[in-house]
Amino acid sequence: MARRTSTNQTAISMWMLTTSDGRRVADIRSELDARRIVHTLGITQLRGPYSWDVVDNQGRLFVAEIRHRSGGGGR
Protein backbone atom coordinates (compact mmCIF):
# COMPACT_ATOMS: atom_id res chain seq x y z
CA MET A 1 0.00 0.00 0.00
CA ALA A 2 1.40 3.36 -1.02
CA ARG A 3 1.97 5.97 1.64
CA ARG A 4 0.19 9.28 1.19
CA THR A 5 1.49 12.59 2.43
CA SER A 6 -0.86 15.40 3.22
CA THR A 7 -0.56 18.55 1.14
CA ASN A 8 -3.42 20.35 2.86
CA GLN A 9 -1.17 22.90 4.54
CA THR A 10 -2.75 26.03 3.14
CA ALA A 11 -0.84 29.26 3.52
CA ILE A 12 -2.82 31.68 5.66
CA SER A 13 -2.55 35.35 4.90
CA MET A 14 -2.24 37.41 8.08
CA TRP A 15 -1.25 40.91 9.14
CA MET A 16 1.13 42.06 11.84
CA LEU A 17 1.25 45.37 13.75
CA THR A 18 4.52 46.69 15.13
CA THR A 19 5.23 49.94 16.93
CA SER A 20 8.40 51.95 17.34
CA ASP A 21 8.16 51.53 21.12
CA GLY A 22 8.42 47.76 20.84
CA ARG A 23 4.84 46.50 20.88
CA ARG A 24 3.79 43.81 18.44
CA VAL A 25 0.53 42.11 17.56
CA ALA A 26 0.69 39.16 15.17
CA ASP A 27 -1.92 37.02 13.41
CA ILE A 28 -4.42 39.77 12.62
CA ARG A 29 -6.88 38.28 10.14
CA SER A 30 -7.44 41.23 7.79
CA GLU A 31 -5.96 44.55 6.75
CA LEU A 32 -9.11 46.30 7.95
CA ASP A 33 -8.80 44.70 11.40
CA ALA A 34 -5.13 45.75 11.57
CA ARG A 35 -6.03 49.34 10.66
CA ARG A 36 -8.78 49.39 13.30
CA ILE A 37 -6.35 48.18 15.96
CA VAL A 38 -3.94 51.02 15.11
CA HIS A 39 -6.69 53.56 15.74
CA THR A 40 -7.37 52.10 19.18
CA LEU A 41 -3.81 52.98 20.23
CA GLY A 42 -4.44 56.74 20.32
CA ILE A 43 -4.79 59.76 18.07
CA THR A 44 -3.40 58.87 14.65
CA GLN A 45 -2.02 60.76 11.68
CA LEU A 46 -1.33 58.90 8.47
CA ARG A 47 2.40 58.72 7.76
CA GLY A 48 2.39 56.37 4.75
CA PRO A 49 0.06 53.79 3.20
CA TYR A 50 0.69 51.34 6.06
CA SER A 51 2.06 53.51 8.88
CA TRP A 52 0.82 56.15 11.30
CA ASP A 53 2.17 58.61 13.85
CA VAL A 54 0.30 57.89 17.08
CA VAL A 55 -0.04 59.89 20.29
CA ASP A 56 -1.41 57.75 23.12
CA ASN A 57 -3.43 58.87 26.15
CA GLN A 58 -0.18 59.45 28.09
CA GLY A 59 1.08 61.90 25.44
CA ARG A 60 3.74 59.51 24.10
CA LEU A 61 4.48 59.69 20.37
CA PHE A 62 5.33 56.54 18.42
CA VAL A 63 4.98 55.09 14.94
CA ALA A 64 2.68 52.15 14.20
CA GLU A 65 3.06 50.04 11.08
CA ILE A 66 1.08 47.13 9.66
CA ARG A 67 2.62 44.49 7.43
CA HIS A 68 1.20 41.65 5.41
CA ARG A 69 2.72 38.25 5.99
CA SER A 70 2.01 34.69 4.97
CA GLY A 71 1.98 31.95 7.53
CA GLY A 72 1.90 28.25 7.06
CA GLY A 73 0.96 26.33 10.24
CA GLY A 74 4.31 26.66 11.94
CA ARG A 75 5.37 29.45 14.23
Residue 4 to residue 38: CA distance in whole angstroms = 44
Is residue 6 domain-resident? no
Total structural domains within the chain: 1
- Is residue 43's pLDDT more than 90? yes
Is residue 45 domain-resident? yes
- Condensed to tens digits (0 to 9), the pLDDT of residues 46-59 reads 999 999 999 999 99
| Contact assessment for residue 28 and residue 14, using Cβ atoms and an 8 Å cutoff | yes
Is residue 44 domain-resident? yes
According to the model, what pLDDT value does residue 71 have?
A: 62
Strand order in the sheet with 12-19: 24-28, 12-19, 61-71, 51-55, 43-48
According to the model, what pLDDT value does residue 52 have?
A: 98
Is residue 51 domain-resident? yes
According to the model, what pLDDT value does residue 12 have?
A: 74
Is residue 32 domain-resident? yes
- Is residue 21's pLDDT more than 80? yes
According to the model, what pLDDT value does residue 2 have?
A: 57
Is residue 30 domain-resident? yes
Is residue 8 domain-resident? no
The range of the structural domain enclosing residue 47 comes to 13-71
The pTM for the full model equals 0.76
Is residue 56 domain-resident? yes
